[in-house]
Structure 1
Amino acid sequence: MDAAPDAVLQARGRHGAHRPAARAEAAALAEVERQAAAVALQVLPCEDCGQEQAGGLCEVCGYRRQAEALTVEAGLVAAAWSADLDDSGAVAAVLVHVRATLQAAVRKVQDDFLGSAESGEVDADPLGTASVLAFGALQAVQEAVPAYRRRALAMLGRSDEAEVEAEARRAYRTEQGRRWFRHNPNGADALAAATKAADAARERTAQFLLAARVEWLREQAAARAEQAAAAPWTDRLPELAARPLDGAAAGAVIAWPPS
């Protein structure tokens, strides 16, 4: 009767002894597969420009993609407060204006770099120059985008939308009614604390509104892109022919650069 438990324990011991070795073998195999996948990825050309052995995306195109994503984001943030969201033309005008503003900032940064480069330096290392220019463009956009967001939050926070003001009034009354202010709810300390709480609530609500509006604009843009891709060219030709070629719609663009 006692032999059976001993045999089981011995078998478990043998299996337990093999577990560390099995884990080590599995880990080694996983590392080999990871390295093989990394090598395979490195030989892929760039998806955007075709540069060989770029790991699927070269450095320059990677910077450009990031800059483009941020440019679109800035445009949506600006449109979220300054345009009628139901008017696709007004939204498009804001996007065009923001893109032009950021492109001007990018050109200035790139011109400054090219103007300060040593004679022959640009031609001697074209790939390096392209990378520096693309990175400079990305930095220029990164520095500008927060201003658009601050502007949008400020404008939404000062708007008279019921949601913003209701939340601000609620926070004001809550803070003013706290027990340490009940003896003098209209005193300077109580009013200052209530005003601060209302401002914070207004900012939180503005952040929520901004996020919701930007998401709605993204969804609308995705839906339009899907419809355009599905529509045959014969249906799209009249629309394309009706578009102005001389920038006549520029008058609808909001002429404010963020500060």
Structure 2
Amino acid sequence: MAALGDLRHRTALAPVAWLWSRLNAGQQAVALRAVERALEALSGIVGMKVAPQVLANRLTDRLEEVGGEALVRDPMGWLLGRGLMQRPACPDPRCDDGIRLDTRSDCPTCGNIVHMRRALRARIATQVEAEMRDCDPAARRGEVERRLRKETLLEEARTQSHRARAAREAEQRQEAIARRRALEEDAETARTQAPCADCGLPEAAGLCPTCSYRRRTETLMREAVDLAVAMRSDLSDAAAVAELTRQCETDTRAMLALACERAHGPDADPAWIAFTAPEVAQRIRNERRAAALRRLERSPEAVAEAEAVYEAVVRRRGRGAEAAAEQAADAAGRRTAEFLLRQRMGELRAARERAALALSALGRVAGEAV
């Protein structure tokens, strides 16, 4: 059993380890194919992860029926013909000897079938009693049994058709799973083999580490510049916004380069600088955001909101609530500052969009004049 390389096979065949040792190499190869077919069928019912343990439970139950491994005379025949085979007692594909494969509980469909067969016998007996009232009881019983056999054969035909349809559906599900897995593997292979979109480095999964660090740095730099411009510029003046943006971007990039040079020296490897730059840019962005919030917390709007919250808490709780009121006021001031900062950032984006639209309109007018 230890020679089996697949953990799924070892789990499924653990209850019959001694029987497995009695098989020769050729028999084991044939049995393994049967095990794989059983696992595929169970995977369509209970899932791939649970299928090995469900098959192990089936083999355990089958061994209990015969009294243990020692009483199995033909290990190969027993495995292929009895141990690994599903024995549904009803049309439900999850049924195995009247037990639900997914819950290990009694199969409710089997119970329903027993109930329906009893009802069928009673109905046929009533019909025969009405039709053969003048016949002797033995003849009526014979007619009841004949009609029951006929109905049973019809039901068996319907059951076989249902099982065949369920088997086809399970096979189709497995094929769909295999196709999806193949597509996912192809997509993952294509993704990992894709060159870097920025520098063209082959097999970089679309973006090499250096370019990824650079993109992250650029994003943080833009956020840091926007924070400075939003707090220092007259957002109603598009020209002033554009000029301050250029100045802040120049200053911020110089600050970033100086910090990276101090961290690694003037002759540092560019790869180390690219790795460090996002951390430095994030620190600059965070510092500017914190400074902007501190400034906005002192704004008239934030102060008024904090005072209003302080007074409301004192009125509601009475004397002795000063500490709680101060805490609530501080939180209100921070919330107001965050709201004002989001408002300023939105106004900055709107100012830039207006400037871009004006520039575009001017370009169209110049083109039409030419």
Q: Do the two structures share a fold, i.e. TM-score over 0.5?
A: yes
Q: Work out the number of aligned pairs and report it.
A: 217
- Residues 80 and 152 of structure 1 are in contact (CA less than 8 Å); yes or no, is this contact kept in structure 2? no
Cα drift, residue 63 of structure 1: 1.4
Structure 1 stretches of 5 or more lacking a match? Answer: 123-128, 237-259
1:149 aligns with 289
2:177 aligns with 27
Residues 180-201 of structure 1 deviation map (CA, whole Å, 9 limit, x = unaligned): x32x3xxxx3223222211211
Residues 43-77 of structure 1 deviation map (CA, whole Å, 9 limit, x = unaligned): 44333333334333322222111111111111222
Matches of 1:99 and 1:83, distance apart in 2: 14
Indicate which of 165, 177, 198 corresponds to 1:48. 198
2:74 aligns with none
Structure 1: which amino acid aligns with 2:351? Q
1:158 aligns with 298
Structure 1: which amino acid aligns with 2:343? A
Flag the structure with more relative contact order, 1 or 2, with Cα contacts below 8 A and sequence separation at least 6.
1
User: 1:31 aligns to what SS in structure 2?
Assistant: helix
2:312 aligns with 174
User: 1:63 aligns to what SS in structure 2?
Assistant: helix
Give the direction of change, closer, same or farther, for the CA distance of 1:14–1:212 in structure 2 (3 Å limit).
farther
Structure 2: which amino acid aligns with 1:27? I
2:37 aligns with none
The share of aligned pairs that are identical, in percent, is 33
1:200 aligns with 331
Structure 2: which amino acid aligns with 1:193? A
Give the direction of change, closer, same or farther, for the CA distance of 1:155–1:13 in structure 2 (3 Å limit).
farther
> Superposed, which structure 2 residues align to 1:91-130 within 5 Å?
91-112=241-262, 115=265, 129-130=269-270
- Residues 109 and 136 of structure 1 are in contact (CA less than 8 Å); yes or no, is this contact kept in structure 2? no
1:68 aligns with 218
> Superposed, which structure 2 residues align to 1:123-138 within 5 Å?
129-138=269-278
Report the more deviating stretch, 207-216 or 197-206. 207-216
Cα drift, residue 220 of structure 1: 3.4
Q: Which has the larger radius of gyration?
A: 2
User: 2:300 aligns to what SS in structure 1?
Assistant: coil
> Could you tell me the TM-score, scaled by structure 1's length?
0.68
Matches of 1:23 and 1:36, distance apart in 2: 20
Residues 218-255 of structure 1 deviation map (CA, whole Å, 9 limit, x = unaligned): 2433454465467539849xxxxxxxxxxxxxxxxxxx
2:188 aligns with 38
Matches of 1:230 and 1:6, distance apart in 2: 79
- Residues 233 and 240 of structure 2 are in contact (CA less than 8 Å); yes or no, is this contact kept in structure 1? yes
Give the direction of change, closer, same or farther, for the CA distance of 1:8–1:106 in structure 2 (3 Å limit).
farther
Indicate which of 333, 337, 340 corresponds to 1:209. 340
Give the direction of change, closer, same or farther, for the CA distance of 1:141–1:34 in structure 2 (3 Å limit).
same
User: 1:62 aligns to what SS in structure 2?
Assistant: helix
Cα drift, residue 97 of structure 1: 4.2
Structure 2: which amino acid aligns with 1:176? V
- Residues 297 and 333 of structure 2 are in contact (CA less than 8 Å); yes or no, is this contact kept in structure 1? yes
Matches of 2:307 and 2:263, distance apart in 1: 51
> Could you tell me the TM-score, scaled by structure 2's length?
0.50
Give the direction of change, closer, same or farther, for the CA distance of 1:116–1:204 in structure 2 (3 Å limit).
same
